[in-house]
Structure 1
C-alpha cells in the first residue's frame, strides 16, 4: 500500500490524538499511525493501581474535558483509556492500527514513512511515539549475577504476585513511590533512591506542576532567570496511596546500593539485603529509532528542536517527549498547547508551499 497525505502522525496515544484534534480543526489531510491494536496508548499497559496526579477536569486533552471517575478524585489508568477511546471516536480521528512505523526518510520534497502496512508519502510528519516503549535500565555491577527476578516499571502489574516476597524497588520518582506504596503492606519491601525522597506538599498536584513547567519555559524563552520548574517543587506527588503509606511509616527509603549479588544487593558500607525481585522504576528514553535515517540525533539522544520542530528538518515535529518538546508535553493537560503550535506551524509551512 502507498498513500500521500499532508501530515503523518506517528503514534496514537494522547500526544497523537491532541495533534489530530488540531490538524482536523485546520482542515489538513492527515493520518494517525498507531502501533497498538486498540486505543489508549501507553495507559493501556500501566500497572493496576496507577493514578493521575490531577483531578479529571485538569487532565484533559484539547476540546473535551475528561469526565470524573465515580468515587475517585484522581482517575486511574483504566479511566484514561476509556477517555482516549471516546476522544478518538468523538472527533472521528483517522487512526489506522496496528501500524508499526519502521523508518522515516527524506524522499525529495516529501518524507517517506515506511511501515509494516505500507508506505506513506507525507509533506510533514509529527512523531508522537512517547517513551514508554523504551524503558531505561541503569548499568549496575553484578546485575548479571542476580538470581531473582528483574523487571522494569513497564512489566509491573500489581502486588499480588509479590505477596510475602522480598522486593526491592529502585527509583525516587513518582513511579517508584507509587509502586513502593503498592507493595508496602504485603511484601518485605526495601525502597531504594539515589537521594532522599522529595515529596511535594500534599496540596500540590498536576495543575501546579503544569503551571511550574510553563512558567519555567516562559522564563527561559524570554531570557529571565531559570525558575527551576517542577524540579524546584519536589519529585513525588503525594497522591492518596503514597500519602497513606508515607503517613503510616511504611514508605521509607534507603540509599542506593553499590552492587548486586546472586542473593540480593550490597551497600557501600557492606550492609546486605536479600531479594526475590528487583523492580527498576528508573525512567525511560524517547522512542525515536524510526527517525534514525534522518540523522538528527543530538546530545542525550534528543533531536534538537525549536519549539516542537526539528531544527535541522522543518518538515518534522516532535510532540510529547518531555519539556524539550514543550512544557509538560508528556502529560495529558500539557500536550494541548504544543500540539496546537505544531499544527499551526505545519499549516503555515504547507500554505507557503502550495
Structure 2
C-alpha cells in the first residue's frame, strides 16, 4: 500500500523529533519513520553508565525542557529515553514504528521512500538517522588473528561483563574515556589513544561546548577567522566518573599500538600487552545508505549541503549528523536550531513549488 504526505522524516530519535516539532508548528503534513520498536532513538542502546555532558535544562529539545533527574546533575541515558518518549507523546508526533527505510528515490515531482511496509511519496524528505547505526572500526594489521573478543562502543554495556579480565580500550574521545573510566576499577585496563588525551577544563560541560560551536559557525558564516571551535579546547569532557578515575591515576594512556597478535597487541618497539578483550571506541560515520539510490555523494563520499539542504537535491535535508549539518546538531541542545531552519526552508519550498 502506498502512502502520501508532504514531508517524510526518516528517523525517530532526537533529530527526527525536533524536526517533527517544527513541522507541526508550521502546520505541515508529515510522518516520522522510525526503525526502532520503541521511543528513545539510539539512547536506548547506550552503555549502562552513560551520562549527558550537561544538566537537564541544557539538554532539551525545542519547546519542552528536560526535567531534572533526582540525585543526578548530569542525567543518564535512561532518563533521556523517558524524556524523548514523553516529548513524542506531548506533541502527538506521528511516528510509525517499526518501519525500516530501504531507500529514497526520485519519482517525478516527488521523492519516494521505500520501506519494509510499503512506499511513501513526499514533496520533501528529512534524513535524521544519526550515526550510531554505523560504527567505524579501523583496519589494523593482525586484527583477524586476535583470539579474544573485539567489540565496538555500540556493543559495550557494563564493566561486570569484563570483571577480572585484561581489557584494552582504544580511543581518546569521550566514549573511550568514559568506558575506560568505567572499567578502570575492576579490570586490568590498558587505555590506548592515537595522541595524548586532552581533557577539557573541569568546569566545561555541554553548555559551554554548544556556545563555542555556535560562535565558530557564526564566525565562519561572517568570513571571520576560524576559532577552532570545540576542538581547540580539548577532546574529553571531564564528567564526574572520568574526573575521578583521572585524578586517581587510573586513566594513563598508552600510544596506539602497531598490530594485533593472537593474544593481544604489539607496539612498534616490540612491547606487547596481552588482552582478553579489545573495545574499539573509534567513532561513527553518518548512517546514510538509504540515500544511495539518489547518487548524491561526491568524489570523497561526502554529500554537499548548504545548511541542512542537500545542494544536488533541494527536496532533501540532512539533520543531526554533526557540525556540517548545523553547529552541535548531533546533540540534544544543538538540534533545535537546524531543525527549525530545515522546517522553514521546506515550508518555503512547498509554498513556492506547490
TM class by shorter-chain length? over 0.9
Q: Partner of 2:223 in structure 1?
A: 223
Q: Partner of 1:88 in structure 2?
A: 88
Q: Does structure 2 retain, via aligned residues, the 8 Å contact 1:164–1:186?
A: yes
Q: Partner of 1:64 in structure 2?
A: 64
Cα displacement (A) at 1:222: 1.1
Q: Partner of 2:174 in structure 1?
A: 174
* 1:196-345 alignment runs, 5 A limit: 196-298=196-298, 300-345=300-345
Cα displacement (A) at 1:297: 1.2
Q: Partner of 2:2 in structure 1?
A: 2
Q: How many angstroms apart in 1 are the aligned matches of 2:344 and 2:285?
A: 27
Q: How many angstroms apart in 1 are the aligned matches of 2:244 and 2:348?
A: 50
Q: Does structure 2 retain, via aligned residues, the 8 Å contact 1:43–1:81?
A: yes
Cα displacement (A) at 1:301: 3.2
- 1:298-339 CA-to-partner distances (Å, cap 9, x unmatched) read 355331000000011000000000000000000000000000
Q: 4+ residue runs of structure 1 moved beyond 4 angstroms?
A: none
Q: Does structure 2 retain, via aligned residues, the 8 Å contact 1:286–1:302?
A: no
Cα gap change, 1:87/1:299 in structure 2, threshold over 3 Å: closer, same or farther?
Answer: farther
- For the residue of structure 1 that corresponds to 2:126, the secondary structure is strand
Q: How many angstroms apart in 2 are the aligned matches of 1:90 and 1:207?
A: 25
- 1:227-283 CA-to-partner distances (Å, cap 9, x unmatched) read 000000100000000000000111110000000000000001111000000000000
- For the residue of structure 1 that corresponds to 2:119, the secondary structure is strand
Runs of 5+ consecutive residues of structure 2 not aligned to the other structure: none
Cα gap change, 1:343/1:131 in structure 2, threshold over 3 Å: closer, same or farther?
Answer: same
- For the residue of structure 2 that corresponds to 1:36, the secondary structure is coil
Q: How many angstroms apart in 2 are the aligned matches of 1:199 and 1:298?
A: 35
Q: Partner of 2:157 in structure 1?
A: 157
Q: Partner of 2:131 in structure 1?
A: 131
Q: How many angstroms apart in 1 are the aligned matches of 2:298 and 2:158?
A: 37
Q: Partner of 1:101 in structure 2?
A: 101
Q: How many angstroms apart in 2 are the aligned matches of 1:269 and 1:229?
A: 36
- 1:46-78 CA-to-partner distances (Å, cap 9, x unmatched) read 000001000000000000000000000000000
Q: Does structure 2 retain, via aligned residues, the 8 Å contact 1:62–1:336?
A: yes
1:43 matches 2:43: yes
- For the residue of structure 2 that corresponds to 1:118, the secondary structure is coil
Q: How many angstroms apart in 1 are the aligned matches of 2:60 and 2:164?
A: 38
**Number of residue-to-residue matches in the alignment:** 354
Runs of 5+ consecutive residues of structure 1 not aligned to the other structure: none
